[in-house]
Amino acid sequence: MNDENKLIETAYAEHVSDHFRHASEELLHAYQRNKEASRHHQSGAFKAALHHAKLSKHHSFNAHEHLKEALIIAERMEAVQPALGQVQTPFLPKAIQ
């Protein structure tokens, strides 16, 4: 059973890691689109600026969803651990651990 728990925990950790990676990629895209929107706005191309602003919003929303999923998974991991004081995890602030 202990090996099974380690495998499950590893799978959860990999899943959380994937969500963090996707979130960071989406945030990078949002930042890039926002910069592009700003450039277009400064040059007077308001239609193009609006388009890039909408793309930035879309990427930000996707990043938010990935971070929300990562948090849900981390909370599930915390719920199945034997006792909060026995296991240190990277998902909770030190004050809570």
Q: Is residue 34 domain-resident?
A: yes
Specify burial of residue 33 (Cβ count, 10 A radius: 0-12, 13-18, 19+).
Answer: buried
Q: What is the pLDDT of residues 31-83, one digit of tens each?
A: 999 999 999 999 999 999 999 999 999 999 999 999 999 999 988 888 877 54
- Residue 97 tokens, joined: 């651990």
pTM: 0.75
Q: What's the total number of domains in the chain?
A: 1
Range of 27's domain?
2-80
Residue 88 in any domain: the answer is no
Q: How far apart are CA 30 and CA 45, in angstroms?
A: 19
